[in-house]
Structure 1
C-alpha cells in the first residue's frame, strides 16, 4: 500500500486535529478497520472514509481517495465518542 498527501494539508491537519498523516497511514493496517464510500464528499472524485486504530492506539477517522493503488490522504482526526459507539 502506497500513500501520498499534500504537505501543506498535512501540516494544517496536525495543527487542527493533532494527528499526523504518518500516524493516519497506520490505521489502514488495523485488521479490524472499516472503509466506506463517502457520497457527501464525492462530487469531484470518489472519496472514502476509513475507521481504524493507529499504531498509537487511537481510533482515527481518515478521509482519502484511491487511484492506481495509491491512497491520497485528505484529512484525519480522532473519532468522537458518538462515532466510536456507532461502530
Structure 2
C-alpha cells in the first residue's frame, strides 16, 4: 500500500516529469536496488529505491514507512535517475 500527499505529487510531476502513480511501479521491479537515504534520515529513517518503472524509465524513489502501519509512504520526490545512477542499475542509455 502506498500513500502520498496530492499537492506534493502534483508539484513533483510538474518539476521532475514523474507522477507518483508511475513512481510506485519501481516497487514491482525485482532487480531494483534499495538503500538507506542517510543524508535525509535525521527525523525518520528514509530509503531510496533505484529501479525501472512500468513505462521503462529508470527512477529514484525516496520513501519511508509510516510509523502506524507498514505502508510505504512516498514523501520525497521521485525523479529520473542520473546517468551514473542508471549505470549502477545496469541500464543502457
TM-score of Structure 1 vs Structure 2, range by shorter chain: over 0.9
Structure 1 position 72 matched with structure 2 position 73: yes
Deviations 1:19-41 (A, max 9, x none): 00000110000010111011100
Residue segments in structure 1 that go unaligned for 5+ positions in a row: none
* Equivalence for 1:82: 84
User: Counting strand residues as a fraction of each chain, which structure ranks higher?
Assistant: 1
- Hey, what's the Cα distance between the residues in 2 that align with 1:69 and 1:56? 26
Deviations 1:41-69 (A, max 9, x none): 00111000001100000000001101332
Residue segments in structure 2 that go unaligned for 5+ positions in a row: none
Specify the SS of the correspondent of 1:75.
coil
- For these two proteins, the number of residue pairs brought into alignment is 86
Q: With the length of structure 1 as denominator, give the TM-score of the two structures.
A: 0.93
Q: How does 1:1-87 map to 2 (within 5 A)?
A: 2-67=1-66, 68-73=69-74, 74-87=76-89
Q: With the length of structure 2 as denominator, give the TM-score of the two structures.
A: 0.88
Supply the RMSD in Å over aligned alpha carbons. 0.9
- Hey, what's the Cα distance between the residues in 2 that align with 1:55 and 1:39? 27
